Amino acid sequence: MARIAREADVVSNTLYWYFQDKDAVLITVLDAILADSTAAHSEILDSGLADRLLWLITELEQLGRLVNTVHARAKESEAIAAWHEQFHALAEGLFRTELIELGIPADDVDPLVSMGVFVVEGLLTHPVQEPDKRAVIEALLCSARGIAAPAT
C-alpha cells in the first residue's frame, strides 16, 4: 500500500479511506479492466466464435502478470478467490450461451465449457504461435459441433 501511495503521490493513509487493503485495490483494478474489456468485446460481437475466443486469449496474454497475480492471491485471499470464481462464472456463462446458440445438445454443453476453459488456460500457460492457437480453437469448436477438425 505504501508503494501504491508513493506512485499515486498521496500519503498511504489516504488509500485506506478508499480501500480496506491491497486486495481491495486489486479487485478495483480488475473490475476496471473487466469493464474496459467488456466494452471492447462488444465491438467484436459480429466476428465468429473462434475469433472472439482468440481475442479473449490475446486480452488475457496482455494481462499475464495480473492473471498470475490473481491466481497466486486467490490461494491466500478469500476476496480475490471470490472475484476469480465470479470471473470464471461470467466467462463460462458466455461460452455456454454461445454453445447453446450453436445448437449443441444440453447434455454436451457443460463438458464442452470445461474443455473450453482448459483450452484457454492451456494456451495461456503454454504459448504457441497464432496459427497454432487458431488450429486449437477451431479443433475445439469442431468437436463441439461434432465434426472433424480441418487438417493444418
| 120-147 pLDDT per residue, tens | 889 988 889 999 999 999 999 888 877 6
Query: Which residue segment(s) compose the domain that 86 sits in?
Result: 22-145
74 located within any domain: yes
| Crossing angle of helices 49-62 and 106-125, rounded to 10° | 40
Banded model confidence at residue 149, pLDDT cuts 50, 70, 90? very low
8 located within any domain: no
Least confident of 23-32, 83-92, 140-149: 140-149
124 located within any domain: yes
Give which of 87, 84, 86, 63 is closest to 75, Cα–Cα. 84
Query: 65: domain CATH number?
Result: 1.10.357.10
Number of domains within the chain? 1
Give which of 44, 48, 2 is closest to 22, Cα–Cα. 2
pLDDT of residue 35: 93
pLDDT of residue 92: 93
85 located within any domain: yes
Residues 47-87: tens digit of each pLDDT: 988 999 999 999 888 888 898 999 999 999 999 999 999 99
